[in-house]
Structure 1
Amino acid sequence: MDPSVVDRIRPGDHVCWTFDDEHQRLAAVTGYVQAGADANQKIIYLSDASPDLLLRELTDNGVDAWRLVRTGQLQMGHPRDDYLTNGLFDPMVVLDDWQREIAVARGGGYTALRMIGDMSWARAGVVGADPLHWYEAQVNRVFADGYAMALCLYDRRLFDQVSLLRVSAAHPSRMEPGTDWNWRPLLRMERTGEPPGLRLIGEADASNRDALAATLADVIDDMSRPDATVTLDVAGLRFADAGAARLLMGAATTAPPEVRITGCSVSLVKLMRLLGGDPCAGAVA
């Protein structure tokens, strides 16, 4: 993998990154941390490994990690303190914790919150890890506001292929061994204020369907008032498969609130009509 691709991760992104060896992990983490340091972003790194070891790794690869820790810009943590409560994984507690961390980072004047989560703690044998897929899908609501971003590290030597595919679908984007310099986040989901709703950019398919489903549901639930109107802006959606089109069609029939879909491509309109609906009527880009 070309380490420079991590520079393309920006606030709002939630990326599942699978790796096969420690060199791949370190290359990605180093670039990701350095990018955050350069952009005056708060960085939180959660890992089973000791903080001293991680700091030495970063330092040996050119990151002034000890200074970042001293200034508070880099915060190291252990999963048992952030993901686990009394040895159990409670997704709702973790989601609340991330919202608090975002508030702290904003209050500290940082331009964004940059998270790194080494998910090795969730390998087989951790009590309560079954809700991991649900958590990874639901946490997208944290990122859709456009201030926080996350790189979730999954060691392919510790997770079976079925589990990796399932948890990957809860992320809008993913990277894996062999990713080259052409990589870009596959799907970006951005909450909008005027008009209130959600903007979709990139491609929506089976690889990120659960992330899209959870984010759509969250946006609509937040505005479930009789007088509310939610706008789903899909002008930046280059591709949507049948599953994504069904999700959009389902959102458009949810009431309340009223849901408007704008910026539909001709191909998306045709796909929806084939599926028996056309919520994009009058809103073709």
Structure 2
Amino acid sequence: MTVPHAEHQGQDEGGRSPRYLRYVALGDSTTEGIGDGDEESGYRGVADRFADRLAATSPELRYANLAVRGCGTEHVRTVQLPAALALRPDLATVVAGVNDFLRPRYDADQVAGHLEATFAALTTTGTHVITLTFPDIGKIAPLARPIASRARDLNARIRDAAARHGVTVVDTASHPVTVDPRLWSADRLHLSPLGHDRSAAAFAQALRLPGADGSWALPLPVLPAPKPWQALGVELHWATTFLGPWVLRRLRGRSSGDGRTAKRPRLTPVAATPPQDPIAR
């Protein structure tokens, strides 16, 4: 985990965690919570789970989630950022970039520029910003190995931009557990409930919230290795069930977020609930 400057480690002068009043989450499906719930009951996800942890120490916290599934960094900068600034947050999370580097036409400079502009606009107003790096997608989905270098390059750009603007980086890319299949949904594009919970725990550690520690990065019990033919069958099933439809949408210029808006566009109170142990499940 990288925390560029001491004043962004989530502590006041007395070494205590500050009490945040306005938390705004920006991003894509990870922040919206896809993989942690469903369309009928709603999605929870990393930002909701992180807000629960914040509210446990700051009961007066209000929280907004501006994320939209399928969106890229341009949407975050041009649509979500103005809405976020209007809410005057003192804490924000920004998680975006995966949808960009998965697309055939990928401009690394442009994507990094959108992220840096978002960091700059928020931190200039005094907002404490937290972001994260992305795990090796080639280890999550072997068929994605040809573009795994895009994630590594974007991670480097995120770290550099964060250092320039005093943004806290949760460096999940450096922890092997983040590519454990149990942290991912069957589509391998979205986190599972356990993955969302561990990511929320990582954010909590970045702010040094009471009770937060590095247990989110501990490995899970080892699973027996599948037979080669079993592994091939899993890959073929994933490609036909998830990868194929996703590629088809992209070729048609469509996104899963088309026509959708933020699930929680206004700052509203958070009903604090005790966070579940991310190791126990």
Report the TM-score, using the length of structure 2 for normalisation. Answer: 0.31
Name whichever structure is richer in helix by fraction: 2
Between 1 and 2, higher relative CO (CA 8 Å, sep ≥ 6) is seen in: 2
Larger radius of gyration: 1
Report the TM-score, using the length of structure 1 for normalisation. Answer: 0.30
